[in-house]
Amino acid sequence: MTAAALCLAAAVLVAPGAVATPRLRALRTTVAAGRSWRPPQEVTVGLCVLPALLLGVAPAVAAAVVAGTAVRRLRRRRRDRALDAEQRTLLAGLETVVAELEVGTHPAEACATAARETTGPTADAFRVAAARVRLGGSAADGLRAAARAPGQSGLAASLERLAAAWEVSDRHGLALAQLLTAARSDLSGRMRLRSRTEAGLAGARATATVLAALPALGVALGQMMGAAPVTVLLGDGLGGVLLVVGTVLACAGLLWTDRIATRVAS
């Protein structure tokens, strides 16, 4: 049975043969170029079918739920780290703009300088703002347009506040450098508050992870005592149902804890 399952999984991965070779060549080219790669549909299907053939439907479903939860939490952590890096870049860009304005540089040139000295979404936002000013428009409109652009969801709120400060300066003739300094202080304070909140929630998240892992520890202790819970859970019937239900509840608790923590941090 195991040999047949492995052969079937290998056939799913490489079939149809007419397109398998170009697909593998494209994979080697993508990896060599350092670009992100998403597995073909046949590979995904094969990886999902193989555990079901080797272990059974219930263990495969439980493993899929655990893997999905782990991927979701990993993506959230990566998104949080990316947002923190983008906000730090925006803070550096704001410092550049304020420094340029204080020495009498034109706002368009100040934004262009900030765009050259930063990277990513921040550079794009300041580049759009500089272009709007050079065309006779307002940098506030350029920043708002950049905030609504695809891929700017992390910095949208910060760019909107920066655009509001710039618009106040344009309408009422207030000193732009002072308003941007206030916006920079506000952004810095929000970043410090978010950092302290995340540090305070680290204990709650760790506790939720430990509590979610306790059933697995109980199963391991029962197995060492000779109760053979693994045999029951990996078997057919009620044991498989209990395995799936328990896994779903544990993973749901983890995701619910992350959702509550995210709301508090934001």
Q: What is the pTM of this model?
A: 0.69
At residue 4, the pLDDT reads: 47
At residue 152, the pLDDT reads: 61
At residue 156, the pLDDT reads: 83
Is the pLDDT score of 205 beyond 80? yes
Q: What is the mean pLDDT of residues 166-182?
A: 89
Give 149 or 246, the one with higher predicted confidence.
Answer: 246
User: For the packed helices 139-147 and 156-172, what is the interaxial angle rounded to 10 degrees?
Assistant: 160
Mean pLDDT of the chain: 80
Q: What are the CA-CA distances from residue 73 to residues 37, 90, 103 (Å)?
A: 20, 26, 46
Q: How many CB atoms are closer than 10 A to CB 150?
A: 5
Q: Three-state SS across 114-149? A: HHHHCCHHHHHHHHHHHHHHHCCCCHHHHHHHHHCC
| Residue 29's pLDDT band (cuts 50, 70, 90) | low
Is the pLDDT score of 45 beyond 80? no
At residue 54, the pLDDT reads: 64
Is the pLDDT score of 198 beyond 60? yes
Classify residue 20 by burial, with Cβ atoms within 10 Å: 0-12, 13-18, 19+: middle
Q: Three-state SS across 61-88? A: HHHHHHHHHHHHHHHHHHHHHHHHHHHH
At residue 40, the pLDDT reads: 53
At residue 201, the pLDDT reads: 85
Give 96 or 46, the one with higher predicted confidence.
Answer: 96
Q: DSSP letter at 17?
A: H
At residue 130, the pLDDT reads: 92
Q: Give the model confidence (pLDDT) of 46-95 as tens digits.
A: 555 565 556 678 888 888 888 889 889 889 889 888 888 989 999 999 99
Q: Which two tokens stand for residue 237?
A: 């019937």
Q: Give the model confidence (pLDDT) of 109-168 as tens digits.
A: 999 999 999 988 889 899 999 999 888 888 888 888 888 877 666 688 888 989 999 999
